[in-house]
Amino acid sequence: MATEIQVPQLGESVTEGTIAEWLKQPGDAVAVDEPIVSLETDKVAVDVPSPVAGVISELKAEVGDTVEVGAVIASVEEGATGAATGGEEPARSQEKREEGKKERSDQDEATDAASVDSSQTLSPAVRRAVLEHGVDPSTIKGTGKDGRLTKEDVLAAARNKRDDGASEAAPPAAAAPAAATGERREERVKMTRMRQTIAKRLKGAQEEAALLTTFNDVDMTAVIEARGKYKELFAKKHDIKLGFMGFFAKAACLALKDVPSANAYIEGDEIVYHDYVDISVAVSAPNGLVVPVIRDAQAKGFARIEKDIADFGKRAREGTLTMEDMKGGTFTISNGGVFGSLMSTPIINPPQSAVLGLHRIEDRPVAVNGEVVIRPMMYIALSYDHRLIDGREAVTALKIMKEAIEDPTRMLIDL
């Protein structure tokens, strides 16, 4: 008996998605709840599982097709046997995925995002496999359409790397032809649905809002000393590292309490204010920038905020963030410092009216009590919608954040 596979509900207001990659082909065996296709929506990639065990009998959509929620995209012949067993192969694949996750669990989020060569166009599933197994996609020969990488190509490369170090033994002649001829090449690749959405939203923000950015610099000495003094106790008690983002999230909550317009947005001819702070945190994922939300940040302690951020980073790398994770948000924090940025003018995340940009910390000479000293300094930037937020309010909000970071006690006694 054939069972139809339909596009599931993808989230509130999301009515369609794009076929990013078929993880199974006709004749392949599948187990219950084993993913058969990766769908890309405006915000996240979603793996669609098979509701039954059997064999893929037909694919009714191609890679790149746009499919609506409820549309039939494949069928499974229930109980049949195919090219692979329905139980052993998924188990081995799961084991390999868990091994890859364990190997990379201690690596930094920014390193994970940067480890995939951005010049290559990879599907969400392939990118996840590359990150999980720590392989270099530029050294793998793709067997997919037009020579593109498939998930199976990555898994095969990972096996070779573990078993016999094949990546080190690869013949150097493979790259020789391009170098010898000096051929100039270009490639046209259709933008992913997520990248198109990011482009539209950011351009829309520039066209709709009256954007302006105010800057300040922060002496990070007090925060660095606090982290150094309490990091071991903090990690032991809360099982999470004490990072910088927790300090800035709490500092932002103080500022937004005193400057509520920076935590509001315009809807029609009304201003919507919030008595809570939901902070969107910009996170680099393999298939684009995502902004999961820390709910009720004003009511959370440092440990809970740090755990939320770590969880978002982990799930962004794995491609398991959901639409609900990114719904809402009243204010955004974007940390370009992890990539080495010295200064930037971040763009607001509509419909929000303000975004805080963090940058790298570097030793600089500053004047303190009439003397020139070297201090760890960071430039911070607040971009805001001038239609709603006046310059005085924006400068005040940024100044409150600066003072809270330079004297963290303020965050404890609500000053």
Which of 136, 386, 407, 414 is catalytic? The answer is 386
Q: Where are the alpha helices (DSSP H) in 165-286?
A: 166-169, 176-181, 193-208, 221-238, 244-258
* Nearest-angstrom CA–CA distance, 171 and 297: 53
**Beta-ladder partners of 375:** 364
Sign of the alpha-carbon torsion through 328, 413, 337, 139: negative
Known catalytic residue at 133: no
How many CB atoms within 10 Å of residue 386? 13
Q: What is the rounded distance in angstroms from the CA atom of residue 67 to the CA atom of residue 253? A: 41
SS3 80: coil
Number of Cβ within 10 Å of residue 163's Cβ equals: 8
* Separation in Å, CA 58 to CA 39, 55, 149, 210: 17, 9, 23, 51
Closest CA to 168 of 135, 211, 209: 135
Which residue, chain included where needed, has tokens 């008595």?
A: 275
From residue 310, alpha-carbon distances to 142, 246, 315 in Å are 33, 11, 9
Task: At 202, give phi and psi (nearest 5°).
Answer: -70, -40
For residues 173 and 297, what is the distance between their CA atoms, to the nearest angstrom?
A: 55
* Crossing angle of the two packed helices 244-258 and 391-406, in degrees rounded to 10: 140
| CA distance to 109, 117, 120, 246, per residue, from 339 (Å) | 10, 15, 19, 18
Spot the catalytic one: 117, 296, 390, 407. 390
Distance between CA 348 and CA 331 in Å, rounded?
9
**Smallest Cα–Cα separation from 157: which of 139, 175, 143?**
139
Q: Is 359 a catalytic residue?
A: no
Cα–chain center distance at 204: 21
The residues annotated with a catalytic role in the active site are 386, 390
